[in-house]
Structure 1
Amino acid sequence: MSALTPRQRTVTRAATGTGATLALATVALAATGTAGHAADYTVREGDTLTSIAKRTGTTVARIASDNALADPSRVRTGQVLRLPDAAPAAAPAPTGGAYTVRSGDTVSAIASRHGTTVAAIVAANGLDARASIRAGQQLTIPGSAAQPTATPATSAPTTSAGYTVRSGDTVSAIASRHGTTVAAIVAANGLDARASIRAGQQLTIPGSAAQPTATPATSAPTTSAGYTVRSGDTVSAIASRHGTTVTAIVAANGLDARASIRAGQQLTIPGTGTGSTTGTVAPTTQLVGNTFAGRTYSSQVVAAANQNKATLLAAGVPSRADMQAKVAATARAMGVDPALAQAIAHQESGFDQTAVSPANAIGTMQVIPSSGEWASQLVGRQLNLLSPDDNVVAGVAILRSLVRTSPDLPTAIASYYQGAGSVKRNGMYADTRRYVANVQTLMTRFG
Structure 2
Amino acid sequence: MVVAAPPPATPVLEPVTALVAPSRTAPHGWTTYTVRDGDTLDGIAARHRTTVGALVARNHVRTPGLIHPGDRLSVPRTAAQAAQAAKAKAAAAGRVHVVRDGETMSGIAARYRVSLASLLKANHLSSRSLIHPGDRITVRGAGSAGSSSAKAAAGRPAATSRTHTVRSGDTLSGLAARYDTTVGDIARASRISSGSLLRVGQKLRIPVSAAHAVSDTFNGVKYPSSVVAAARRNHAILAKRSVPSRSEVRAIIVQTARRHGVDPRLALAVGSMESGWNQRAVSPANAVGVMQVIPSGGDWASSLVGRRLDLLDARDNITAGVVMLRALGRSAKNTEQAVGGYYQGLASVQKHGMYSDTKQYVKTIMRLRATM
Report TM bin, short chain.
0.3 to 0.5
For CA contacts below 8 A with separation 6 or more, give which structure has more relative contact order.
Answer: 1
User: What's the TM-score once normalised by structure 1's chain length?
Assistant: 0.38
Structure with higher Rg: it is 2
Q: Give TM-score, length-normalised by structure 2.
A: 0.46
